[in-house]
Structure 1
Amino acid sequence: MAPSEETRSLSAPTKDGNVDSPVTDKVDSGAPATVSTQKNTSGPKKYPWRFWAVFVSLSVTGLLAALEGTVTSTALPTIAKDLEAGEQYIWFVNVYFLTSTAVLPLFGQVADIFGRKWLMISVVAMFALGSGISGGATTTAMLIGGRAVQGVGGGGINMLIDLIVCDLVPLRERGNFMGIIFGVFAIGTSLGPFIGGAIVQNTTWRWVFYLNLPIAGAALILLLLFLPESYEDKSSFSVKIKRVDFLGNAILIASVTSVLIALSTGGTRYGWGDWHVIVPLVIGLLGLVGFQVYETWATEPVVPMRLFSNRTSATALGLTFVHTMFTFWVVYFLPVYFQSVIAASPTRSGVLLLPTVTSLVPFGLISGLLLAKFGRYKPLHIAGFAIMTIGIGCFTTLDANSSLAVYVILQIVVGGGSGLILTTLLPAVQAPLPESDTALATATWAFIRSFGSIWGVSIPAAIFNTYASKYASRITDLSVRAQMSGGNAYAHASKDFINSFQGSLRDEVLSVFTDSLKVVWQVAIGIVGLAFLLSFLEKEIKLREELDTEYGLEKKEKSKSVDAVS
């Protein structure tokens, strides 16, 4: 007897890598999508106290990565000066991004093989170790090394929090709880610059890193006490370790490192046409292609191609890349507008950016609630990208005469649209896939999200510098024109630079910054508009309301096989 639309479940991946599932088959065959419009009338589920203890543990752990994302930025100039870092200071930030991105797929596979608890405890301990090394650094190399260790821990923390939430709640409710986690994360991110500034002004910059140690200590205690060790696989360590796709991970990490080195130095330390940028970029991209080829025949791939074999998961992963890229696009280039066009100080620029961050949280929570209530993600993605496209289109009107009310309202529009998408992308990726792929799907999603953040900084920077060099020809003062050319405009986008000019020369410089930013926003319209169109490719699949996992609150021995519903 064939499974009904309401009771069918997903089977395990078949030997050829495809998902042998009525859901996937129906989605990809072009048949009408399975849309559940029935409201969840059973009421909110009641979770035991241990669930909430784990949830609080995850929230405290999330504060580590949240604070680290912004607290260091305020102290960076002071750190670079004290350690005499010179041009190497950029690696204080870049190495963290690099290591936190490259290891994500590996952590997903290890979490599947060895379980979640001790891996989570290990990455928190690694983050604390990196913080201690960074805080005690006496040389630039020592700080870069500490930040690299921190990045491995920070990347693992972010991914594993999402994964453990998936282990604890059914697919339909995941957006709801991820919204709460993100709310805590956003609070930490918002407080980071102020905490970092206060530390630098009142004590040594080393406390920017030492501050993580008591938080990590509290997180470790909570995780040890409450995080369940429910997964039980009696295989020997040697059997388990052989399952790790070491060659695939090595190819991926090397390729990602090469790409991120190119993107981190392009348009800043080197021009985009310089061989220092082109060579690692080409090698990295070719490596990613080679990685995909290798994964098609690997015995237990770290990023199985079946994750991309249905158009809903593949589309949602693509939307994740664009959404993250666009988020960083806005977060990094609105401050450029505030400082270079309306001549705001760095501190005031951070305050003016708050509407973007603060609007993400409530709309992310609303989106999660709507997903849990109606079980539909596609309308939220369509609406979110539509709102973002309209909002970013309005950004092109911003100039030196724009009022405070205008850029606050526009940020709320863009942030609200982004928030509608934020907590519903991972459930959309997971909807067509079996629960057995939750860890690999979550790790791949986290990797693409992190990878997109680097492109979200480098691409608009390249556009901005390219067009600033082009428009610099309108500046009559040749020395100022030289400062704005050759990829140097981004480095001069500051209040002090603008206020060093008067009269018509100041107007000329302002026009270069304003028009270059306009092109940055115009390109963003095209990218986000494309994502809006892509969101129509998703199929609406009924979200599972029950958990079927070996990693939940209750101890459950690893299944020998996965039985399909018959």
Structure 2
Amino acid sequence: MGKMQKKEFIIRGFTQEVIMGKNKYVFWGLVITTLISALDANIMQTASPTIVKQLGGMQLFAWIFVVYMLASTVTVPLYGKLSDMYGRKKLLIIAVGIFTLGSILCGMANSMVTLVIYRGIQGLGAGGMIPLSMIIVGDLFTIEKRGKIQAVFSSIWALSSIVGPVLGSFFVEALTWRWIFFINIPIGIATVLCLIPYKEQVQFKKTYIDYKGFFLFGIAITLLLLATNVSNPLWYAAAGLVVLLIFILVERRESYPFLPVSLFKNKGIFRTNLFMLVYCVSFFGTSNFIPLFLQEGNNMSIYKSGLILLSIAVGWMFGSTPAGNWIIRFGYKKLFIIGSFITVFSGLALYIFVQDISYASLFMILTVQGFSFGLLFAVGTIASQEFADADIKGISTSLQMFLRNIGTSIGVTIMGVLINQAANVVIGMQNVFLFALIFSIITVILSFLIPAKTPAAQAI
């Protein structure tokens, strides 16, 4: 090897090492982003009663959660669209900044009205944090590694569902509830510092943004989501559907629509998104009610009933970690079929044995179901990125996450009604499992419609 070749080789190797080093810091930045999102959602569940007691305004209690959900859900597609134009790094730093600012304001709130407003600001930031993190993962890492990284993120969410309430109780009892918001300040700063070394290699294309379409879309989805959180939902649902129809009519005439037409003409993206929407309506939301079922139906302690959710985390890790390698080996279609069948069989076991199920048996079944969750969510996220062209990868990824949120909201709302109308929580839970089982069977049918490979992979 000549001197020039040797020198070039050393420089190239050093450059790759530097990039990997920087990617490591970016990875930890994304982990921290996921952590603050997960902790915020779970800490609030514990601290909110104390907050209302101190600030007053019990009639606004639900809006602490509703306004956050609305803001964080509606803005997801916009963040994805903007990231395709201006880059993921800038948008993620802005999203973390907005979230941190909202956290500071929430910690300083002196009334329920101001707290609700500030929670909305928090939600505007939160809407970009998780989707943009997933998009950056798609830009930086190979398909094989993405499943493992998603397993880490999923484990953070699962563990936060247990750690969050405990941490919330500590802040409320030992310090003040305001620290559940102020704790986000150093975490937000750490996230930004980790992202600074990140140099994006993707070429971004600046295009026209259809803000008219975004606002119509946002209003329609807001009304539909409100229909799941108010006592008289019909008017909200009807109004939401009317605005959604107007959105579709307006977008058909738009040269550069907010949601690109290619997203719906692409069979891989469209069918994968439809699958994930229906899948999230089914069993994904049942984990919200299982601790309640154990507490009310089996007189179990709060901590033991919460620990049952570790089963889903364990299963999720085993399902998502090898997902990238399995995609290369088996393709998308087979994995969607296998994952949906596992969900059906584990769901059938939950429905049949729910009345006399032991804690150990429930743990085992939920572990199996968690495996299918991890597998399908990892494969679904990767599919939304790999089926999409480079210039719409951001909006494609964020659209799927948006549809997951919508599906989960619909499913949880219906499940809540089924439990509330049942004679007792055990019968209510059985009705919930039956409802979820029916929708999971639909996902089995949909799984057979998903392409096995991306067009690029088929051409090889």
Give 1:189 deviation, angstroms.
4.2
Change beyond 3 A, Cα 1:377–1:262 = same
Query: Among residues 369, 380, 403, which one is paired with 1:448 in the alignment?
Result: 403
Tell whether the 8 Å contact from 1:341 to 1:400 is kept in structure 2 after alignment: no
Query: What is the percentage of aligned positions where both structures have the same residue?
Result: 28
Q: Are 1:159 and 2:159 an aligned pair?
A: no
1:344 paired to 2:300: yes
Give unpaired runs (5+ residues) of structure 2.
Answer: 1-15
Residue-by-residue CA offset, 1:58-109 (whole Å, 9 max, x unaligned): 2222211121121211112222222223131111111111100101111122
After superposition, the C-alpha distances for 1:99-144 in whole angstroms (9 at most, x for unaligned) are: 0010111112211222222211111010101111111111101111
Aligned with 1:304 (options 247, 255, 260): 260
Pairing of 1:142-157 with structure 2 (within 5 A): 142-157=114-129
Matching residue's letter, 1:262: A
Match of 2:228 in 1: 263
Equivalent residue, structure 1, for 2:150: 178
What is the CA distance between 1:408 and its match in structure 2? 1.1
In 2, distance between residues paired with 1:183 and 1:125?
25
Going from structure 1 to structure 2, the CA distance change for 1:542 and 1:316 (only over 3 Å counts) comes to: closer
Q: Offset of 1:294 from its aligned partner?
A: 2.6
User: Is 1:410 the equivalent of 2:356?
Assistant: no
User: For residues 190 and 311 of structure 1, what CA distance do their matches in structure 2 show?
Assistant: 39
Trace 1:463-482 onto structure 2 (pairs within 5 A).
Answer: 463-466=418-421, 468=422, 471=423
| Letter paired with 1:382 | I
Q: 2:208 aligns with which of 243, 246, 259?
A: 243
Counterpart code for 1:536: F
Report the counterpart of residue 170 of structure 2 in structure 1: 198
* Alignment correspondent of 2:106: 134
Kept in 2, the 8 Å contact 1:391–1:414? The answer is yes
From 73, 77, 84, give the equivalent of 2:56: 84
Q: Which has the higher contact order (CA 8 A, sep 6+)?
A: 1
Given that 2:50 and 2:172 are in contact with CA atoms closer than 8 Å, whether structure 1 keeps it comes out as yes
User: What's the TM-score once normalised by structure 1's chain length?
Assistant: 0.73
Aligned to 2:193: 221
Structure 2 partner of 1:355:
311
328 and 140 in structure 1: CA distance in 2 versus 1, 3 angstrom threshold: farther
Deviations along 1:399-456, one digit per CA (max 9) or x if unpaired, are 5643221211121121122111121102223343322220121121121122222112
Structure 1 residue 463: Cα displacement: 2.4
CA distance in 1, matches of 2:157, 2:431: 32
Structure number with the higher helix fraction is: 2
Cα contact 1:134–1:146 (8 A) shared by 2 = yes
CA-to-aligned-CA distance 1:530-565 (integer Å, 9 cap, x gap)? 1011101011114868xxxxxxxxxxxxxxxxxxx9
How far does residue 231 in structure 1 lie from its aligned partner after superposition? 6.1
CA distance in 1, matches of 2:97, 2:219: 25
Instruction: Write the distance in 2 (CA, Å) between the matches of 1:197 and 1:203.
Output: 10
Secondary structure of the residue aligned to 2:448 is: helix
Q: Which amino acid aligns with 1:532?
A: V
Q: What CA distance in whole angstroms lies between the structure 2 residues aligned with 1:327 and 1:164? A: 28
Change (3 A) 1:212 1:328: farther
CA RMSD of aligned residues (A): 2.4
Cα-to-partner distance string for 1:207-266 (whole Å, 9 max, x where unaligned): 111111111111111122x12255677x9xxxx6x811110000011111111111112x
Structure 1: distance between partners of 2:348 and 2:171? 38
Given the superposition, is the C-alpha separation of residues 87 and 395 from structure 1 closer, same or farther in structure 2, using an over 3 Å criterion?
Answer: farther
User: Quick check: 1:461 aligned with 2:373?
Assistant: no
Indicate conservation of the 8 Å contact 1:179/1:365, yes or no. Answer: yes
SS at match of 1:537: coil
SS across alignment from 2:451: coil
Which amino acid is the alignment partner of residue 250 of structure 1? F
**What is the aligned length?**
442
Distance 1:116 1:427 in 2: 17
Superposed CA deviations along residues 160-214 of structure 1, whole A, max 9, x for unmatched, are 1011112223456543433333334444444222211222232211111111111
CA distance in 2, matches of 1:172, 1:247: 39
- Aligned partners of 1:83 and 1:139 also within 8 Å: yes
**Unpaired runs of 5+ in structure 1?**
1-44, 271-275, 472-511, 546-564
Q: Tell me the residue number matched to 2:376.
A: 421
Structure 1 Cα separation of the partners of residues 284 and 57 of structure 2: 26
1:54 counterpart (3, 13, 26): 26
Is 1:375–1:543's contact at 8 Å kept on the other side of the alignment? Answer: no
